[in-house]
Amino acid sequence: MNIFDPQGPIAAADATILVDSVAIMLAIVVPTIIAIFAFAFWFRQSNPRAFYSPDWAYSGRIELVVWSIPALTIILLGGVAWIGSHQLDPAASVQGTGSPVRIQAVSLDWKWLFIYPDQRIATVNTLTVPVGVPLNFELTSASVMNVFFVPQLGSMIYTMNGMVTRLNLRADREGTFQGLSAQFSGDGFPEMGFDVHVVSPLAFPDWVKSTAQSDRVLNADSYAELARQSVVTDKAAFRLDDVRLFEKISTQKLPPGPGPTLVTESAQSYLGAGHAR
């Protein structure tokens, strides 16, 4: 999950900006830290060779320098931020080979549902994508906020109920990578990790075909079951019954997740969600 081991263009560009920004700042930070130690050491009280000028409190030249060095650095970094924000806008589409794959991600308590509307399939806690193809994500949440994040593929994005966020990524190497939720979402939060399988463009249709033969169907009923607070261990795959399911979730035509079921009347007062695991 090392962000310095990027597997796609977005992750690589994010990481490059990160490293460049640190380098720009180190150029003034390192000399400043050295100067702090040097001044403190040289002007120690016990050093008879150091001069002492107790009333020296102003120098126009030094003032000019100390205001302009941070200002110039910030102008440079501000440029990096401006250009970087525009080039790496999560909503901006990414180039790639082949036609984009649309994926609709829904964060549930406490699992991820990935819907492939064009392929009419859906998976839980596992994301399978073809290598080199633009990945076009639409995201929402069934209940509380979460953040969709695959460190090696790049930019993260929030999921919120009643709202749709957009994210565009591309994976450039086959393999299995880890994704997680980067926003605390309750007792089952640490279980919200998921696998990202990046497969060859030839293997992807095969995977789609085999998944489409799943005997489990995702419809309003099985979605309601999923939306209940639970931690899942089996990575289920579904045939998608309703291609507009994501739209119904994000527009709340399907109601938000129900939250905790209370154990007993008397335990309501403090127990809350009870034991998640």
What DSSP string runs through 221-251?
HHHHHHHSS----S--EEEES-TTHHHHHHT
Q: Is the peptide bond before 56 cis (omega within 30 degrees of 0)?
A: no
Q: Could you tell me which stretch among 25-33, 98-106, 207-215, 233-241 binds another protein (CB under 8 A)?
A: 25-33
Shortest Å, Cβ 268 to another protein: 6
**Nearer residue to another protein within complex by CB, 98 or 162:** 162
Shortest Å, Cβ 148 to another protein: 9
Are residues 150 and 169 in contact, defined by beta-carbon separation less than 8 angstroms?
yes
Shortest Å, Cβ 200 to another protein: 25
For the chain, the farthest-separated pair of C-alpha atoms sits apart, in whole angstroms, at 87
**Nearer residue to another protein within complex by CB, 37 or 213:** 37
**Nearer residue to another protein within complex by CB, 14 or 129:** 14
Q: Rounded distance, CA 249 to CA 211, Å?
A: 22
Q: Could you tell me which stretch among 42-50, 124-132, 203-211, 220-228 binds another protein (CB under 8 A)?
A: 42-50
Shortest Å, Cβ 252 to another protein: 7
Q: Name beta bridge partners: 138.
A: 104, 166
| Backbone torsions φ then ψ of 80, nearest 5 degrees | -60, -45
Interface with another protein, residue 9, by CB under 8 A:
no
Shortest Å, Cβ 178 to another protein: 7
Out of 100, 132, 136, 189, the only residue in the binding site for another protein (CB under 8 A) is 189
| CB neighbour class for 144 (10 Å; exposed up to 12, middle 13-18, buried from 19) | buried
Q: Rounded distance, CA 172 to CA 7, Å?
A: 6
Instruction: Report the relative pairing of strands 194-199 and 126-130 from DSSP bridges.
Output: parallel
43-82 positions binding another protein, by CB under 8 A:
43-45, 50-59, 62-63, 66-67, 69-71, 73-74, 77-78, 80-82
List CB contacts of 146: < 8 A, sequence separation 6 or more: 107, 158, 159, 181, 182, 183, 185, 192
Q: Could you tell me which stretch among 96-104, 188-196, 206-214, 234-242 binds another protein (CB under 8 A)?
A: 188-196
Q: Could you tell me which stretch among 99-107, 125-133, 177-185, 241-249 binds another protein (CB under 8 A)?
A: 177-185
127-156 positions binding another protein, by CB under 8 A:
143-145, 147, 149, 151-152, 154-156
Shortest Å, Cβ 106 to another protein: 14
Interface with another protein, residue 96, by CB under 8 A:
no
Out of 104, 119, 128, 165, the only residue in the binding site for another protein (CB under 8 A) is 165
Binding mask 201-240 for another protein (x = CB under 8 A): ----------------------------------------
Sheet with 165-169, side-by-side order of all strands: 165-169, 135-141, 101-108, 111-116, 121-124, 237-240, 217-218
Instruction: Report the relative pairing of strands 175-181 and 194-199 from DSSP bridges.
Output: antiparallel
**Nearer residue to another protein within complex by CB, 41 or 206:** 41
